[in-house]
Structures are given as C-alpha cells and as structure tokens.
Amino acid sequence: MIIIKDLHKSFGDKEILKGIDLHVKKSEVVVVIGPSGSGKSTMLRCVNYLEVPTSGSITLDGKTITREVNINTIRAEVGMVFQHFNLFPHMTVLQNIMLAPLKVRHMEETAAKQTALELLKRVGLESKADARPAELSGGQQQRVAIARALAMHPKIMLFDEPTSALDPEMVNEVLEVMKKLAESGMTMMVVTHEMGFARQVADRVLFMDEGRIIEQGSPEEVFTQPKEDRTKEFLSKIL
Amino acid sequence: MTFDFSLIANHLPLLLVGALVTIEITALSVAIGTMVGLFVGIAELSRYPWLRIPAKIYVDFIRGTPLLVQIFIIYFALPIVLGMRIEPFVAAVAACSINSGAYVAEIFRAGIQSIDKGQMEAGRSLGMSWGQTMIFIVIPQAFRRIIPQLGNEFIAMLKDSSLVSVIGFEELTRKGQLIIASTYGSLEIWSAVAIIYLVMTLSITRFVAYLEKRFH
C-alpha cells in the first residue's frame, strides 16, 4: 500500500531523514515511535507530500508520486490528522466535513451531508453538527478532524501525534475512535507517544532515531525484547 | 471677526453634493482597490518570481510616491503617452484605485500570513488545490481579521480624495474652493468642509466597529 524507498529529506544543511525504506501492507497499522527530532513527523508528512522529499521515492497504492502526477488526486486518497486538529474555525462542524467532498469529489450537497452525518455518528458527535470548532473540547475537535479526513474515503490514514495536544482525560476518546478505525481494516501510519495504544493496536512498531529506522517488529518484540541499545534507552525513559 | 452662519446655510446643499461625490469616488476607489489589492497581495506571496516581483514593484512604487504626484502623472502625463485626454472623473478614480490597491495589498498580505500554516496544510491534505484552499479557507478567515485595517484604509482614502480637487474634479474640497472664490467666506466654508469630512469619517469608524462585532 505504501512503499517508501531511500527517502531523504533535508532542511537547509540539516538532514532530517537519512534514507528511510518502508513497506506498509494493506490494512496494516504501523505505529512510529522515537525521540523528538528523530524525523517521525517529517517522514509522515513526506508520505502525502506536505514536505517534498529531497530524494527517494514514495509509492501509494501502486502510484509513484512524481512531479507529473497530480498531487491533489493522491492526497485525496490519503487522510491526515494533525496534532493541532487544524479544523476550519469559520465553518460549522458539518461544513468542515463536507467541504472537500463537495469541492474535490464534486459530490451532491445532500449526499455529502448524509455522509458527514454518518461519520459524525461514527465518532459519537452527531449532536455537534452545527457547532463551531471553538465550541468543542480538544478531544471532540480531534474526532471531528478524523471524520473530516474519512469523508474523502481515503485508502490510507496518517496520524501525526493526534493526542499530543490534548488534555489527558480526552486522550482515550480519540484513541478509541482510532482503534475502531484500525479494526475496520484501515491502513494506518501513526506517530504517537501513546505506548498503550501501540501495544494494543499496532501490527508493527517502528523505532526511529536521528533520521533512520533503528528497529522494527511486532509490539511484543520491540517493547519486551528490543535488540538495539538506542531502543532500550528510549523505552527505559518512557515506560 | 464675524462668522456668517447664513453663508454656510446658503451653500450647504452645494457642499453636500460635493460630499456625495467624495463618497462616490472613495467607495468606487476602495472597491476597485480591494479587488486589485487582493490579487496583488496574493501575488506577493506567490512562489513564482514573475508574479511576486511585479507585485512588489507596484506596491513599493505607489507607497513610495505621493498620491498628488500619482494624480498628476495620470491626468497630465499619461495623456501625452496615450495621445488622448482623460476625463477628470476617470483620472481621479484611476489614481485613487491604483493608490488604494497598493495599501490594501499589504493589508491582505499581512492578513493571509497571519492565518496559521496548519489551515493551508489541512486543506491541501484533503486534496484541495492551493487556489481552492485560499478561496474557501484562508481568505475568508483573513478577511474577517483585516476588517479594521480596511476600515482605516477607507477613512484614509476619503480624506486623501480631497487631493483630486487639483485637477478640477468637483468633490467636497473643490466645491468649497469654488464657493469661496465667489463669496470670500474662507473661514465659514473651510470650517463647514472640515466638519462634513469629520462627520463622514466618524460614521465610517462606527460602521466598521459594528461590522467587526458582527463577524466575531
């Protein structure tokens, strides 16, 4: 589903990604962990070209992203959830979810609305359809953001530290939605510090440090029998 | 010293006609200027140098030269190049619009830059183009934020439009000059002209404050 080959990314002289190779299968849930500055988010943002790779290639569902391929059509297939939600504050919750289906997929207004309401129900917020983002809690906003991404019927969902900006009591409601999504067979890449979620939901855990994938395996392997010293050191600090 | 109120009363209708013309030229210029400013402001943020550089030159040239000189260039110098006369009304609106466009461009540029980068990223990540994200997400938010500055620009333009009196265009200031030429009532008429300007600018300030409240 996602094939990353020899991905490099530099900002100025600073090389953030130093050659990433990764193959994510359909319906696989890959959780990426690692210290801050290790390049986790940058890698995720390269997958939908919010950051343009310096070199290397990314293939999504058989389509290699190049300058010739219309990046917008590929992005429409890849949902992204951000740390700070990035809901559109001047629109209602419903309008937030309906915008891209209307403008990108050219859906009928009534069909788009029906889809949006179904998705809101799925994330448990059907009563908030007409609210503005500012009237919602952080956890509710993030659930709306997930619904907004799902409205495009993406084949892949990317989560960039989706619970890092939330108050602790709101983390679970977002993780629950993500867990249900994983169970429904969605292909997911999740950058997170929630180790409980990684253990429970991940098919594979990647540990990244200094722009490279240091170690990967099942949650069991990485968390209980890490092979690399850097993984051990990182896990000893956070577990 | 005597202050002849009847002089004002007798010429008030004429002054009010001038005030209406002032409002007309200001509203027209700011409306055109806002459209020009929106495009130039976006062009200033473009990643394409062929859009960005001309936009920057336009803004720098207009903001770096007096409006009075710009009016002279359009009314007196441009006809030499074109080989045809330009009507005072056309020259006045053109000069004020071009001037206003540069100031509004800077307002839009700053307004767009003040919107969180995450908004553009969210729009793009949903598959919307740069243009769609600008139109549906970034500009509507920027517009709300810059209403006070656009109001200030409107007030500045209303006052600066008095400069087009020099090319004989009969707005409020020119009407005052003409009345004084036949009545010698400098004190009364200039006082009246000043108060009419003040009433107009204060009304706009109030209206903008109302708009700001409604949008927030």
The answer, for B118 touching chain A at a CB cutoff of 8 Å, is yes
pTM as predicted = 0.86
Using CB atoms, which residue from A82, A88, A148 is nearest to B137?
A: A88
B143 in reach of chain A (CB within 8 A): no
Complex ipTM value:
0.91
Phi, psi (degrees; rounded to nearest 5) at A98: -80, -20
Q: Of A78, A82, A79, give the one whose Cα is nearest residue A65.
A: A78
A73/B contact by beta carbon, under 8 A:
yes
> Which of A82, A90, A149 is opposite residue B141, by nearest beta carbon?
A90
A and B: number of Cβ contacts within 8 A? 62
pLDDT in tens, A107-161: 999 999 999 999 999 999 999 999 999 999 999 999 999 999 999 999 999 999 9
B204 touches chain A (CB under 8 A): no
List, in order, residues 6 or more apart from B159 with CB less than 8 Å away: B197, B201
Name the minimum distance, in Å, from the CA of A80 to any CA of chain B. Answer: 6
> Does pLDDT of A68 surpass 70?
no
Provide the pLDDT confidence category of residue A239 given band limits of 50, 70 and 90: confident
What confidence tens digit (pLDDT) does each residue in B194-208 have? Answer: 999 999 999 999 999
